[in-house]
Amino acid sequence: MALQADGPVAPPDRADLRTRLTRLVARPGFQSWAARIPILRRIARAEGDALFDLVQGFVASQVLYAVVSLDLLDRLSDGPATPSTLARGTDIPTDRMHRLCQAAAALRIMRRTGDRFALTTRGAALLGVPGLAAMIRHHDVLYRDLADPVAFLRGETETELAGFWPYVFGADGATDPEITRTYSRLMADSQRLVAEDTLRAVSLRRATHLLDIGGGSGVFAEAAARTSPALSVTLFDLPAVAQAARQRLGASPVADRIAVAEGSFRDDPMPRGADAVSLIRVLYDHEDATVRALLAKIRTVLPAGGRLIVSEPMSGGTRPAPAGDVYFAFYCMAMRTGTVRSQDRIAEMLTEAGFAEVETPRPARPFVTSVVTARG
C-alpha cells in the first residue's frame, strides 16, 4: 500500500488496470509499436489475426454457404479436382470457381495441391455432422434478417425466420404441411448429436417411463429407448409434428416402446405416468412467461423424485460463449419468440418452479447442447 501526505492510498484494483490497458491498446500506433518489440510481437500478431477474422467473418460465412450450396465438398469426397472440373454445371466461370476454392482452402475446408483442390478433415467433418449442411443452406433466411443488424436489434425488422418456424407461436401456427415437413427434417438431422451428448451427460437407468415434451420427429425418444432397454417413452407434440413422428418411428426397432401423443403443452393436458420428463431444445424457443407456465405444468405430472432433463444450446452467462451468445442468441431473436439462457438461469427458473436437486453438468460440446437436470 502506497503512502501519501494525506494518508494511505489503495493500489488500483484489477478492473481499473484492465481499463487502463484497453485504453493503451486503443491508442493509434500502439499495434505498430508492439510489433517492433520481440516479446509483444507474437501477441500483437495473434490479436491482429483474430481481429481480422471478426472483420471478414460475414464473407467467410458466405463462402461456406456457396461451397455447401454448390455441393463442392460432396464432389471432392471422390478425390481432388481442378476448379474447371468443379465449375461444370454450376454456371460459375472457372476463374471465379478458382477464387471460391482458394477461399475455402484459406478456411481449411479444402486443401490446395498444385492446380487441384482436395477435401480436408475439417471439410469431411462438415459432411459427416448430421444436419449441418442443411442448416447452412437454411442460413439464407437468417442472413437476410441480419442484413441491417442495428434495425434488427431495434426490433424494426420483420424477420423471415419467424415465418419459417411458425410452430413456436402456438398450436395454430404450423398449418402448412410442407413447412412442417421442412421443420421436422431439419430438426431430426440436427437432433442426433443433441441426443448423443444429452444421454452422455444424463443416465436414464433408473427411469421407467420418459415423457418427451416437444419431441419432434422422435430422434431423442428413440435414442433414449435404445440406450435404456427397459424404458418406455411417450412423445408429446403438436398434431402435425406427431404425425411425422409416427411415420418416422414406425420402422424403428424400439417402436413398440414409444407412444406418440398429440397436443399443445400450452393448452392441452399432458400425458401422465412418467417418472422422467425431457425438454430437448424446447425452452429457448419461448419467452420466460411461457417457460414458467410449462415448468409449473410439468410439476403437476411429474411424481416426487421424478427427473426433469433440459437440454439445448445455452448462453455462457458470466462467461459469454460464441455458440450460445452469438449464433443461437441472434437466431432466437430472429425467431421473435425465444431466448437463450445460461445453465444458471435455467437452474434458477427450475428452483423457482419448485424443483430440487438442480444440477448443471459441464457440457462436452457447448455448440451442440448443454444440460440442466432437476428432481420433482
Task: Check whether residue 121 and residue 204 sit in a common domain.
Answer: no
Query: What CATH number is attached to the domain comprising 66?
Result: 1.10.10.10
Within a domain: residue 242? yes
Query: What CATH number is attached to the domain comprising 163?
Result: 3.40.50.150
Range of 71's domain?
57-128
Global pTM value: 0.83
Within a domain: residue 15? no
pLDDT for 53 equals 86
Reported as a single tens digit per residue, the pLDDT across 153-204 is 999 999 988 877 655 444 344 445 665 566 656 666 778 889 999 999 999 9
Q: Which long-range contacts (CB under 8 A, 24 or more apart) does 285-288 make?
A: 285/165, 285/168, 285/332, 285/335, 285/337, 285/338, 286/168, 286/337, 286/338, 287/337, 287/338, 287/339, 288/339, 288/349
pLDDT for 146 equals 96
Within a domain: residue 363? yes
pLDDT at 276 over 90: yes
Residue 357's SS3 state is strand
pLDDT for 3 equals 47
Q: Are strands 2-4 and 232-237 parallel, antiparallel or unpaired?
A: unpaired
pLDDT for 50 equals 80
Task: Give 342's DSSP letter.
Answer: B
Within a domain: residue 31? no
Show which of 72, 102, 128 is a domain's final residue. 128
Reported as a single tens digit per residue, the pLDDT across 199-221 is 999 999 999 999 999 998 899 99
d(CA 171, CA 90): 41
Q: Single out the residue of 85, 73, 76, 88 nearest to residue 129, CA to CA.
A: 73
Question: How many domains would you assign to the chain?
Answer: 2
Average pLDDT of the segment spanning 296-314: 96
Task: Check whether residue 101 and residue 200 sit in a common domain.
Answer: no
Within a domain: residue 371? yes
d(CA 332, CA 342): 14
pLDDT band, very low/low/confident/very high, at 46 (cuts 50, 70, 90): confident
Task: Check whether residue 243 and residue 196 sit in a common domain.
Answer: yes
Within a domain: residue 186? yes
Average pLDDT of the segment spanning 72-87: 96
Task: Check whether residue 87 and residue 151 sit in a common domain.
Answer: no
pLDDT for 173 equals 44
Q: Single out the residue of 217, 223, 218 nearest to residue 199, CA to CA.
A: 223
Task: Check whether residue 185 and residue 263 sit in a common domain.
Answer: yes
Task: Check whether residue 176 and residue 112 sit in a common domain.
Answer: no
Task: Check whether residue 195 and residue 309 sit in a common domain.
Answer: yes
Phi, psi of 58 (to 5 degrees): -65, -40
Within a domain: residue 50? no
Task: Check whether residue 236 and residue 339 sit in a common domain.
Answer: yes
pLDDT for 197 equals 95
Average pLDDT of the segment spanning 246-252: 92
Contact between residue 372 and residue 359 where contact means Cβ atoms under 8 Å apart:
yes
Within a domain: residue 137? no
Show which of 95, 128, 161 is a domain's final residue. 128
Task: Check whether residue 303 and residue 163 sit in a common domain.
Answer: yes
d(CA 231, CA 292): 28
Task: Check whether residue 110 and residue 232 sit in a common domain.
Answer: no
List beta partners, residue 47: none
Task: Check whether residue 231 and residue 109 sit in a common domain.
Answer: no
d(CA 237, CA 259): 11
Task: Check whether residue 217 and residue 350 sit in a common domain.
Answer: yes
Show which of 70, 95, 128 is a domain's final residue. 128
